[in-house]
């Protein structure tokens, strides 16, 4: 695996120097300050590449921008309203500009309204570490009593509604405010910060977009962008829903292996691939991550390796982001499937035999606590995760008689 690291740009408290000391081989980033639906210009792309290429003291870092995460797909494209056609053209132009700059892998998602959802961004573990958590009762309290979404009562069983009402009644006002901010935090580093009014307006815009409609719109998008990526020799990799079940009455179309297989088949080109995120997909007990890697590995263009621990086995359910080798996903088995896929690619002579991977999220530990930065992206917690994942891969490669 190619060991990469997500960076949110010059304002990120985790620096290029920190990445080098962690042993990172490449950088994953995006132009978060560029408004969604507009073109990423060659000048903006070059400025980010230049920032990555330099350490604090002006020395060359030796690192390069290797994966884009994310090139956003606008809500207009997902709903096919307003200037959606112009937004698709801007996306394609951005892709061409990235290709001209030597970048060939683009991660994106097709989640309506929110790119990820958590109720706690710094949930305390028994050892004092902090992590992100999705608490289903807290989420129901938000949906029913803070957002007050019409129709929300139909989405929660009576037992959960009662628990949410009690939870909300016991919440101090500060916690209610924090819960709302946590839920709508969206993609870390995103330029947009959504208010309750924004969320309600966005939800209203999705009223006519059923599950089937969103799938059709996704296929329309892929039919326009994937052939261009194929001609350019680029790899597109869609990120799964996070968490992988419906929320806020919105459709979800990238939550299961069947969803992934359907998107791949919709435009059956090698460029049309997936981001296998073990943390997002692991929040469902029916997602077999090692099996998905074995069966869909041919189209896995990017890996997010992290782990979660669910409170139970219902869908949906509460979960928290565990240590990389903790949680309920068998990370050793998953990496073994990755090593096997890379061996197959080498044997076939593929130029993408080494799959880029980043240690996704991480618990805040040691000096991470109180340091600030993007939720889920501490320096030391991710370094610990990367070291563990690197050790697993090295051991498995040696057992198989190869090299990591």
User: Catalytic residues, which ones?
Assistant: 239, 277, 304, 360-361, 377
In 10 A of CB 265, how many CB atoms?
10
Per residue, what are the HEC states of the chain?
Answer: CEEEEECCCCCCCCCHHHHHHHCCCEEEECCCCCCCCCCCCHHHHHHHHHHHCECCCCCECCCCEEEEECCCCCHHHHHCCCCHHHHHHHHHHHHHHHHHCCCCEEEECCCCCCCCCCCEEEEECCCCCEEEEECHHHHHHHHHHHCCCCCHHHHCCHHHHHHHHHHHHHCCHHHHHHHHHHHCCCCCCCCCCCCHHHHHHHHHHCCCCCHHHHHHHHHHHHHHHHHHHHHHCCEEEECCCCCCCCCCCCCCCCCCHHHHHHHHHHCCCCCEEEEEEHHHHCCCCCCCHHHHHHHHHHHEEEEEECEEEECCCCCCCCEEEECCCCCCCCHHHHHHHHHHHHHHHHHHCCCCCCCEEEECCCCECHHHCCCCCCCCCCHHHHHHHHHHHHHHHHHHHHHCCCCC
What's the maximum distance between 2 C-alpha atoms anywhere in the chain? 61
Contact 33, 191 (CB under 8 A): yes
């Amino acid at each position: 695996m190619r060991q990469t690291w997500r960076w949110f740009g010059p304002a990120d408290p985790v620096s290029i120097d920190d990445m080098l000391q962690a042993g990172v081989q490449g950088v994953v980033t995006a132009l978060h300050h560029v408004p969604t639906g507009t073109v990423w210009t060659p000048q903006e792309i070059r400025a980010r590449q230049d920032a990555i290429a330099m350490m604090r003291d002006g020395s060359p870092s030796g690192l390069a921008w290797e994966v884009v995460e994310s090139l956003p797909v606008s809500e207009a494209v997902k709903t096919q309203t307003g200037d959606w056609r112009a937004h698709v053209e801007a996306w394609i132009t951005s892709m061409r500009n990235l290709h001209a700059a030597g970048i060939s892998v683009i991660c994106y998602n097709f989640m309506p309204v929110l790119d990820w959802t958590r109720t706690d961004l710094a949930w305390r573990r028994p050892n004092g570490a902090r992590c992100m958590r999705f608490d289903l009762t807290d989420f129901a309290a938000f949906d029913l009593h803070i957002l007050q979404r019409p129709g929300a009562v139909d989405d929660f069983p009576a037992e959960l509604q009662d628990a949410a009402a009690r939870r909300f009644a016991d919440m101090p006002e500060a916690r209610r405010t924090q819960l709302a901010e946590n839920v709508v935090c969206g993609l870390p580093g995103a330029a947009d910060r959504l208010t309750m009014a924004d969320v309600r307006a966005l939800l209203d815009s999705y009223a006519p977009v059923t599950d089937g409609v969103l799938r059709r719109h996704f296929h329309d998008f892929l039919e326009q962008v994937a052939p261009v990526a194929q001609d350019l020799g680029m790899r597109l990799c869609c990120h799964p829903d996070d968490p992988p079940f419906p929320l806020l009455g919105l459709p979800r179309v990238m939550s299961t292996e069947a969803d992934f297989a359907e998107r791949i088949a919709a435009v059956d080109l090698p460029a049309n691939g997936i981001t296998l995120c073990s943390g997002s997909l692991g929040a469902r007990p029916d997602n077999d991550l090692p099996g998905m890697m074995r069966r869909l590995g041919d189209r896995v263009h990017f890996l997010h390796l992290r782990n979660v621990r669910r409170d139970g086995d219902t869908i949906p359910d509460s979960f928290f982001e565990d240590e990389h080798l903790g949680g309920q996903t068998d990370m050793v088995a998953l990496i073994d499937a990755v090593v096997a896929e890379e061996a197959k690619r080498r044997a076939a002579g593929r130029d993408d035999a080494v799959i880029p991977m980043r240690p996704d999220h991480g618990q805040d530990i040691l000096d991470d606590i109180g340091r600030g930065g993007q939720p889920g992206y501490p320096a030391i917690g991710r370094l610990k995760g990367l070291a563990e994942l690197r050790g697993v891969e090295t051991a498995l490669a040696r057992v198989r008689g190869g090299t990591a």
